[in-house]
Structure 1
């Protein structure tokens, strides 16, 4: 995407259209074109000039790219296919340098001349650079485009210190991203309150406290005197009070100014911005302007929501439906994971204004609404922003709030008499023109229209109308609208790991490896968990993901396991426990049977039962007797069957060729080998294996997570079966000729499952989610994949708890020894 785009030539046989030239391939310019195409797709022949050598992308999502939460591909708004499908000529990496209004042409930097009938200026804004000594040093960057992000990422790779000048939205998002990338970050801000244009002093204090808790240094009331250099590169920042801060990179994020140079040189009316009327037309009737570069009724806007209002008004006027733009009321959200912050309207107070404030210090909540003449004029929310859209709707409409004045501060549920405690009902009460997605300017009515047109999932809504496709903070609202509109027909999308985090399972697994996180507190700190110690959902998942990612480096956190895994037993409904010792492949011997019988008598176990996995389950053991029970069983050479664990449970076998007249292979022997290879391996969920000696399938191998069916020519390997509540037959994975191949593929499949599945996701739903072709590709597309995955699995087995065979396995397995040196890069590559 970074290479200059190829020009997409116009169809020479098409009817003559008005020539619309757009200066600016950013969010405003392309959104204006989208709005025009939606109204009259045949009206204009469109050419778009962009200064960057890229397609149109979501600039407000640069912060998640810097933070490592998204890739550039994730924030593309219009790919090359959009330009081609709509007959648009994209001239990228070639900015327009002059406008000739007399000849109605524009000239690009390359010398290209393009005539126009209508011209649209969407040049956006330029970052403000404070005029201090050292501002031109290498290592001083702004935060406006992908090139700036690349510079920051390059600096972060080397580590060290970063200073961000400016504690507004962009500055704090830049600081957040650099901090996540491992840099020591200092934010210096001129005003005494962070984000002073959006936050009052109290909310600013809460925000500052939270950022400092995350390890950032926040210095307010700080006036920069000089950027210190060394050998032509930035080395630090000196304040006017004499304080100095070391810096390997300095990010200037002190504000923006409308980019008006082209318009001013062309003789258009320019004040702070390019002056436009209500139809976004400049002082030249043939030239329109939209976005951050314009000034409308004396106001310039630096937030995205007003841009969408402008684009709609512009498209109406360009297509002969002059509705007109009347200005915008703006709201703000901070895109920093784990910090909920919302601000809208005027919170300055003053004569005739009334403040209503609620504080909950223990929960870190702060709410303030400002009322004037019985109308809501401003709101600041910190810690709980669920009612932000409702407040914003009241504010924009200027509705009389007299009837709900007493309950206003408590939110929509209480203001509605307590009838809206259901979040879906709260969303249902919003008006159709209430804003759902501020990033993309999508109303509730538009989302519902999209759903009714066939978008039955979150991903479908995102791809169709773009609601929730950017920062994701409105995802819950979109999901509520899906539920309200479709009822039980909603197709669910990716979910966060739990309520403590905004990251999905896949994101957490990826970041644990990318950031070399090797402890649960470290994960929670780096990924900004919203709870101090996590919850019963995330702690076991994090413990497993860390064990899987860093075998031998991460120490199992027993307190993060479910109680049955800590006690090595299954709790029963009467409060006693059942104990299941392992029987390799379902085989046993007199010594083991005597040991079980002795335990049953010694501890008065009321029941012994043969399980479905060919083992003996001892019921009725008291909790205080469990350590002694296991000591007695261990003395007889018996270890846990992990009947309670998210791990290998059992390998079920039939007697195979050794005894059965139909047996084709030694299924019992292979089952024992598979169980010895795989026991003690922690997994996302319970895992069962079976080996049947012939196609009669007495061991029920085709409803197991991994099943082997022996045939005359070798072994059929099956995966993804489930015999529980939802029965699922296995998928045939492959056929192999030898036991060794069967064992290697089994080890490789388990490792692929361990590295990719979500915690508490069994193989059946995992395969249904990713597809059997994905699994086969992961195993067989690269001829070396099975060997590498199997080597990683066997390596991790050497660190299994209470595994007396680990040393013997490590000593005998030559393939394992061969790959120990490369296992870490291989593991990183896989994850």
Structure 2
């Protein structure tokens, strides 16, 4: 099939990422031509301030070298600008006189630095800070001039000022308002930042409005409207950027502040897409790297005709890249009459944390001095997490001095821009022998975008090399019968459509084709999960039943099914009749609030179960245990009723399903039980605001409290969330992996993201429903084969 012609205007971070995503999705769909106005390959513009500060080299910020373009058959036209777009003929005209046709076009034209039109702004020594050439000019200028003024106390201005300080210059920062980074920080954090930067040698001229730049051919200083002056032989304008939309305007695409696009990054011309700083999506123009990458991913899916929800907007987060200063902000951190806030200020340690809430949900945060919670806050705020969850994160981290990277779960994000977790970096280090940040960046992309995670990557590498490190990611074999890791076995089972234990062992080269108890149980479980809704693995486990347990003397103990620990007079009469009819010798109550009928002979087992209307269900190796319900005599009848109904609902929905490991669930309205409830795999605690749901608890000698998953207002919400969690655990956990170890591996934030996504949660619930139907068919088939036969 003939390839379509795709032109990308712009070889910056947005254009390069779009090309990467398109090649990843459909490498043979397009013949790609990229036009870049600069004479370079794609590079990370955001890290220019790090180059200026001396912590990074120009070579380090290259995104794709020329070999990459060649290997991916991309025609790179560097140092060549597109001057016009002919939408009728579907061609572009360049400044070198080339006319090139396209089927699809992507505009990644970025932004232009804003130069304040002041008298004297055209003098020598007045620069912007936007390109490699700007960076090189500033470095050269610092060798001959010593007095610099940066106009603009925002993010870029402060980073540039720090770089000039490192180059040995005397630096004044001029800002029109009284606080630095006023768009990214509140008053308290801004003043703490100012104090810290003054310690580093930076000077500030706040609430100053520049009237003119004076001097001869070269700038010599600035005069302000209040009559004061400051000397300067180098002035850097860092007052912001403007979206570069000239091409779009000239070819009459819809524009506002920037090029208007839909959720799939299409402009008003469906064959022309736009991405990055030149784009306006739902009234918002983004200037940060993470939104740019998210837009590029959705654009690539659409242009490659891959179904997706499209771009839904981004939560904005900012982190200052200055050595010795930790500053972070995300979301809506300005307070008003509709918000409440949590403020933690420690003047001795120089730390400050503010979390802003609206309607019980976190909407924004500012961190200074201790930004460990930053990455998790982005995820929690983007998913509108409940206040309790966010407070727990911030307060716990404020009270511990534990090694940051050591305390992180494997699923926690290190690089938010590129979605690279701690576990992914450890895996890459162990697999490929990585030892430097640059090697990690090349392998995983961590630290390769905004650069704010580079110190954490450095710390993680040091931690991996330390005696403290004991987090082995390299997967061990499933059992002694094979050398293949568990996850690889599951992958091969799906890829090769292996449908029986025997077939798996033969195909994957088991050392012992008879296997062992470990791999027999694990393979049986995985096959049952892979082939949901089919008739695979209908054989019951001999003599093992869900509601009847064989005793050493050959008799059985029967547990009448009492969902939620609740019963009725009708059921009790039925049990009493069975006791009398079959002369059952002992009846007791278990600690799990169930009745047990002991001493049932094997020859009457089926009759007893039939009369009790209990299915003789084959028992799985591991399953969700019957829910334990703890009611309170001091609570209202309504609260106790809610607890019983919740327990009944859980028992009805999950009690027949197999799980990787036993799962214990408790529901309580009694305050006396709270400590115990939190040590269960799943614990529900009744509060005024609804059900607090804890997950991943562990009891016993090495017990741990579970993590607060969320607060559910109603029973049905609680049921949906937990049924979704159990199904996700069934689908993604390793066999015998406990809920706590699974949560540590997957990351509680990621699990919340899945469960709070309505569509994803509904898909999990639908698959659980299919599993229950499969189980019912299994029972029917077993009963048909056993008709007239006693066990």
TM class by shorter chain equals 0.5 to 0.7
CA RMSD of aligned residues (A): 2.5
The Cα offsets for residues 401-422 of structure 1, whole Å up to 9 and x where unpaired, read as 23664x45424476xxx7x946
Which residue in the other structure is 1:390 paired with?
376
How far did residue 287 of structure 1 move? 0.4
2: CA distance between counterparts of 1:404 and 1:119? 42
Which residue in the other structure is 2:352 paired with?
366
Map 1:391-470 → 2, pairs under 5 A:
391-402=377-388, 405=391, 407=392, 409-412=394-397, 421=402, 423-424=404-405, 426-428=407-409, 435-440=413-418, 442=420, 447=425, 454=432, 457=435, 459=437, 460-469=439-448
1: CA distance between counterparts of 2:186 and 2:228? 27
Is 1:243 the counterpart of 2:221 in the alignment? no
Is 1:181 the counterpart of 2:167 in the alignment? yes
Is 1:192 the counterpart of 2:178 in the alignment? yes
2: CA distance between counterparts of 1:422 and 1:209? 27
Structure 2 residue runs without a partner (length 5+) = 475-791
Residue 158 to residue 477, structure 1, CA distance change in 2 (3 Å): closer
The Cα offsets for residues 573-607 of structure 1, whole Å up to 9 and x where unpaired, read as xxxxxxxxxxxxxxxxxxxxxxxxxxxxxxxxxxx
The Cα offsets for residues 498-527 of structure 1, whole Å up to 9 and x where unpaired, read as xxxxxxxxxxxxxxxxxxxxxxxxxxxxxx
Which residue in the other structure is 1:254 paired with?
239
Is 1:276 the counterpart of 2:254 in the alignment? no
Is 1:474 the counterpart of 2:464 in the alignment? no
Residue 479 to residue 123, structure 1, CA distance change in 2 (3 Å): same
Judge conservation of contact 1:276–1:289 (CA < 8 Å) in 2: yes
Residue 480 to residue 47, structure 1, CA distance change in 2 (3 Å): same
The Cα offsets for residues 257-278 of structure 1, whole Å up to 9 and x where unpaired, read as 1110011101100000100000
How far did residue 147 of structure 1 move? 1.1
Judge conservation of contact 1:427–1:481 (CA < 8 Å) in 2: no
2: CA distance between counterparts of 1:313 and 1:203? 35
Residue 52 to residue 411, structure 1, CA distance change in 2 (3 Å): farther
How far did residue 456 of structure 1 move? 5.1
Judge conservation of contact 1:162–1:183 (CA < 8 Å) in 2: yes
How far did residue 252 of structure 1 move? 0.5
How far did residue 128 of structure 1 move? 1.2
Equivalent position to 2:337, from 316, 339, 351:
351
1: CA distance between counterparts of 2:196 and 2:175? 16
2: CA distance between counterparts of 1:322 and 1:112? 35
Equivalent position to 1:142, from 128, 134, 147:
128
More contact order relative to length (CA 8 Å, sep ≥ 6): 2
Which residue in the other structure is 1:331 paired with?
317
How far did residue 474 of structure 1 move? 2.2
Is 1:295 the counterpart of 2:280 in the alignment? yes
2: CA distance between counterparts of 1:319 and 1:182? 50
Judge conservation of contact 2:128–2:238 (CA < 8 Å) in 1: yes
Equivalent position to 1:71, from 27, 46, 57:
57
2: CA distance between counterparts of 1:349 and 1:23? 41
Judge conservation of contact 1:237–1:247 (CA < 8 Å) in 2: yes
2: CA distance between counterparts of 1:398 and 1:444? 23
439-448 vs 140-149, which moves further: 439-448
1: CA distance between counterparts of 2:449 and 2:338? 38
2: CA distance between counterparts of 1:322 and 1:309? 15
Which residue in the other structure is 2:303 paired with?
318
2: CA distance between counterparts of 1:403 and 1:369? 12
Residue 345 to residue 445, structure 1, CA distance change in 2 (3 Å): farther
Residue 442 to residue 136, structure 1, CA distance change in 2 (3 Å): farther
Residue 99 to residue 77, structure 1, CA distance change in 2 (3 Å): same
2: CA distance between counterparts of 1:86 and 1:67? 34
Judge conservation of contact 2:293–2:417 (CA < 8 Å) in 1: no
Residue 74 to residue 325, structure 1, CA distance change in 2 (3 Å): same
Map 1:481-496 → 2, pairs under 5 A:
487=470
Equivalent position to 1:307, from 271, 284, 292:
292
Residue 265 to residue 450, structure 1, CA distance change in 2 (3 Å): farther
Residue 478 to residue 182, structure 1, CA distance change in 2 (3 Å): closer
Partner SS, residue 120 of structure 1: strand
Judge conservation of contact 1:25–1:49 (CA < 8 Å) in 2: yes
Map 1:57-206 → 2, pairs under 5 A:
57-206=43-192
Is 1:377 the counterpart of 2:363 in the alignment? yes
Judge conservation of contact 2:289–2:450 (CA < 8 Å) in 1: no
Residue 444 to residue 317, structure 1, CA distance change in 2 (3 Å): farther
Partner SS, residue 281 of structure 1: coil
Which residue in the other structure is 1:25 paired with?
11
How far did residue 441 of structure 1 move? 5.3
Structure 1 residue runs without a partner (length 5+) = 1-14, 492-831
1: CA distance between counterparts of 2:471 and 2:354? 37
Judge conservation of contact 1:347–1:377 (CA < 8 Å) in 2: yes
How far did residue 211 of structure 1 move? 1.5
Aligned pairs, number: 468
The Cα offsets for residues 291-324 of structure 1, whole Å up to 9 and x where unpaired, read as 0000000000111111011011111111112320
- Stretches of 4+ moved more than 2 A in 1? 401-405, 407-414, 420-427, 438-461, 468-491
1: CA distance between counterparts of 2:2 and 2:449? 37
Judge conservation of contact 1:99–1:107 (CA < 8 Å) in 2: yes
Residue 487 to residue 475, structure 1, CA distance change in 2 (3 Å): farther
TM-score (norm 1): 0.54
Partner SS, residue 215 of structure 1: coil
Partner SS, residue 402 of structure 1: helix
How far did residue 400 of structure 1 move? 1.0
2: CA distance between counterparts of 1:352 and 1:445? 39
The Cα offsets for residues 122-158 of structure 1, whole Å up to 9 and x where unpaired, read as 0000111112111111211111111111221121111
Map 1:691-730 → 2, pairs under 5 A:
none
Residue 444 to residue 100, structure 1, CA distance change in 2 (3 Å): farther
Judge conservation of contact 2:375–2:416 (CA < 8 Å) in 1: no
The Cα offsets for residues 349-401 of structure 1, whole Å up to 9 and x where unpaired, read as 11221121112212221111111112111111111111111222211111112
How far did residue 16 of structure 1 move? 2.5
1: CA distance between counterparts of 2:320 and 2:25? 33
Which residue in the other structure is 2:199 paired with?
213
Residue 295 to residue 443, structure 1, CA distance change in 2 (3 Å): farther
Judge conservation of contact 2:321–2:451 (CA < 8 Å) in 1: no
Judge conservation of contact 1:29–1:122 (CA < 8 Å) in 2: yes
Residue 256 to residue 438, structure 1, CA distance change in 2 (3 Å): farther
Judge conservation of contact 1:185–1:216 (CA < 8 Å) in 2: yes
TM-score (norm 2): 0.56
Which residue in the other structure is 1:723 paired with?
none
How far did residue 465 of structure 1 move? 2.3
Residue 123 to residue 448, structure 1, CA distance change in 2 (3 Å): farther
